[in-house]
């Protein structure tokens, strides 16, 4: 009897007190975010490996592309040794990852300048383009989706859904050339392209981005409109919304003060996913409008076989996309009460 009592009264072992289970009970959201962050870092490493292997499998040779077809084998071998292309593939990959961890993106093959000096200004232009598109798209699309949910089944709702599906189906190169034809050639309101230069005034940069922003708006606004409408319709069908109506609250107050905050999870999710698409999908838009952004730089570097630039641009696009997808996942999980309560 005494042995049983002493065994029951013995203090818990450190293994029981520690571990992940007590931590999961105390801070479940922190553990969830930590796991998702670790999975994102692992995914980014796998993407870096795929980028390197994919570039290795591309036909052609960087040294041959730089020296031309008339180059001798001696000159090609000397250039390969200078660029480090004579080293084994895994050795070059390890050196690339090691330099990345130290903040070094490498040196461009074409102009022998640090990649960071040429990539960062172009990245700022691509981010400016995506942010301008997001600032225009999100308020208008969320407002339109909320208005369609409030007037469900009306002529406005049906017309908006039809337009949203049409814009979702149209590829960027089609809408890009369409807006150039309408606003630049037919109406003559805006130039088809404006060359951007260093030190250019912000107002001139914004004018040059009107048509590219319009193309990105048409590409992603439909997704936000349909998601906002669906999420709000689901919230507006809940019993507590009917109770709010019985209490005499106006439809506008129910929509904006009660329904919309409870639908913020899926709306934030699709907004961040489309922001990721806008940042990584600017390549086509920058090519159409001749904008010197990161996407255009990536296309030019692939043609030149400038491997350090291609690797850096691809990894930056992948990192931004993974980061925003992580934010979208966290927004959908932590912003939805039913999912958040299960953590």
User: For residue range 257-278, what is the model confidence (pLDDT) as tens digits?
Assistant: 778 877 777 788 788 878 777 7
**Over the chain, what HEC string results?**
CHHHHHHHCCCCCHHHHCCHHHHHHHCHHHHHHHHHHHHHHHHHHHHHHHHHHHHHHCCCCHHHHHHCCCCCHHHHHHHHHHHCCCCCHHHHHHHHHHHHHCCCCCECCCCCCEHHHHHHHHHHHHHHHHHHHHHHHHHHHHHHHHHHHHCCCCHHHHHHHHHHHHHHHCCHHHHHHHHHHHHHHHCCCCCCCCCCCCCCCHHHHHHHCHHHHHHHHHHHHHHHHHHHHHHHHHHHCCHHHHHHHHCCCCHHHHHHHHHHHHCHHHHHHHHHHHHHHHHHCHHHHHHHCCCCCHHHHHHHHHHHCCHHHHHHHHHHHHHHHHHHHHHHHHHHHHCCHHHHCCC
Work out the pLDDT band at 335, boundaries 50, 70, 90: low
Region 225-251 average pLDDT: 84
Q: How high is the pLDDT of residue 6? A: 44
CATH number of the domain located at residue range(s) 118-340 in this protein: 1.10.3720.10
Q: Is the confidence at residue 1, as pLDDT, over 70?
A: no
pTM: 0.73
Give the pLDDT confidence score for residue 172 in this predicted structure: 79
Q: How confident is the model at residue 46 (pLDDT cuts 50, 70, 90)?
A: very high
pLDDT confidence tier of residue 140, bands split at 50, 70 and 90: very high
Please compute the mean of the pLDDT values over residues 123-141 and round it to a whole number: 86
Domain residue extents for the chain: 28-101, 118-340
Convert the pLDDT of each residue in 182-219 to its tens digit.
888 888 787 777 666 656 677 777 777 888 888 888 88
């Amino acid at each position: 009897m005494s042995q049983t009592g002493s065994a029951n009264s013995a203090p818990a072992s450190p293994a029981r007190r520690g571990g992940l289970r007590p931590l999961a009970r105390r801070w479940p959201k922190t553990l969830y975010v930590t796991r998702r962050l670790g999975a994102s870092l692992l995914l980014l490493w796998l993407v870096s490996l795929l980028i390197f292997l994919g570039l290795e499998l591309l036909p052609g040779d960087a040294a041959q592309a730089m020296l031309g077809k008339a180059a001798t084998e001696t000159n090609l071998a000397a250039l390969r040794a200078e660029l480090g292309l004579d080293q084994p593939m895994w050795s070059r990959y390890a050196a690339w990852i090691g330099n990345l961890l130290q903040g070094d993106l490498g040196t461009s093959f074409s102009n022998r300048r640090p990649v960071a000096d040429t990539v960062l200004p172009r990245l700022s232009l691509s981010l400016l383009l995506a942010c301008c598109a997001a600032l225009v798209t999100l308020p208008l699309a969320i407002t339109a989706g909320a208005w369609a949910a409030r007037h469900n089944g009306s002529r406005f709702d049906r017309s908006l859904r039809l337009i949203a599906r049409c814009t979702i189906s149209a590829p960027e190169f089609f809408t890009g050339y369409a807006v150039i034809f309408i606003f630049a050639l037919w109406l003559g309101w805006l130039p088809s392209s404006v060359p951007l230069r260093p030190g250019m005034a912000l107002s001139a940069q914004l004018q040059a981005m009107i048509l590219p922003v319009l193309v990105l708006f048409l590409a992603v606004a439909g997704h936000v409109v349909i998601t906002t409408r669906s999420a709000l319709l689901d919230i507006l069908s809940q019993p507590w919304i009917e109770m709010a109506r019985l209490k005499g609250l106006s439809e506008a107050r129910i929509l904006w003060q009660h329904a919309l905050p409870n639908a913020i999870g899926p709306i934030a999710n699709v907004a961040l996913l489309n922001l990721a698409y806008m940042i990584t999908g600017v390549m086509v838009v920058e090519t159409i409008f001749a904008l010197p952004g990161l996407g255009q730089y990536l296309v030019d570097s692939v043609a030149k076989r400038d491997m350090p630039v291609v690797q850096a641009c691809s990894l930056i696009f992948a990192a931004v996309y993974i980061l925003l997808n992580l934010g979208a996942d966290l927004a959908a999980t932590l912003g939805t009460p039913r999912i958040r309560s299960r953590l």
